[in-house]
Amino acid sequence: MYGLAMAKGMLVTLKNFAKKPFTVQYPEERVKQHPRFRGEEFVWYEERCTGCASCAKFCPLGIIKIVTSPSETAPLQGDKYRLEVFDIDISRCMFCGLCVEACPYDALFMGSGFEQSAYSRKGRVIDIDQLRQAEKLPSTYFRPQLESASYKPQEGQPLDWVDVGRESWRWHEREKAGMRLQPSDASPEAISIGSPDEGRGVVEPVNEEIEEAGTVSAEETT
């Protein structure tokens, strides 16, 4: 009986002897990750972020903390948010990606790394400065625009904020800096989703409008 069990065991060994191994000797060897891999090191594009906090609201674990205040850069339009705190407690994250799915502005992406393990959960909160400085190698998870461009974050090519959105929103940064959009003469039908900068409107500085208003009132009083 004992000999039979030994023979069965040896048979299994022999069967697998010639097979290619599917384990790798990490860290000397690394498994190739899929571009859609949901990794650590969240990629955040401040230029795209409006501080809407949708990501925090949709996180099922409540581990994203966002604090904003009125920026006073666009008071005539009802103002914008200034982000003061953007913390993600990475030690409790389950990498579900719901925060990324909830972001309406393509400002938040899953990362592509997986080497931030630690023995303690202490000090594992990614803050706004770390998010700003993190390498911009976004995962293509829930970002079809990156998939269609065959982007591969593991190849180490960082992407700028103008290249990562489903819409380029090139005016967005200027708007945050106090500019505003005016409706253009183009009809709504003329607006092309593929060319977001065309037909969306003309960007004009708020300050110019204030200056113009001041000029008119000065003339009226003379």
Binding interface with ligand SF4 (CB under 6 A)? 49-55, 59, 61, 63-64, 66, 88, 93-99, 102-103, 105, 107-108
Least separation in angstroms between CB 25 and ligand SF4: 29
Residue pair 74/112 in contact by the 8 Å Cβ criterion: no
Least separation in angstroms between CB 30 and ligand SF4: 23
Least separation in angstroms between CB 175 and ligand SF4: 13
- Cα–Cα distances (Å) from 171 to 122, 132, 204, 205, in that order, read 40, 20, 10, 11
Least separation in angstroms between CB 120 and ligand SF4: 19
- Cα–Cα distances (Å) from 125 to 60, 63, 98, 119, in that order, read 17, 9, 18, 14
Between the CA atoms of 43, 87, 114 and 37, what dihedral angle is there, to the nearest 10 degrees?
Answer: -50
**Given the complex with ligand SF4, which of 56 and 199 has the nearer CB atom?**
56
**Given the complex with ligand SF4, which of 94 and 186 has the nearer CB atom?**
94
**Given the complex with ligand SF4, which of 70 and 205 has the nearer CB atom?**
70
Least separation in angstroms between CB 172 and ligand SF4: 10
**Given the complex with ligand SF4, which of 88 and 146 has the nearer CB atom?**
88
**Given the complex with ligand SF4, which of 66 and 179 has the nearer CB atom?**
66
**Contacts from 58-63 at CB under 8 Å and sequence distance 24+?**
58/98, 58/99, 58/101, 58/102, 59/98, 59/99, 60/96, 60/98, 61/92, 61/93, 61/94, 63/88, 63/89, 63/92, 63/93
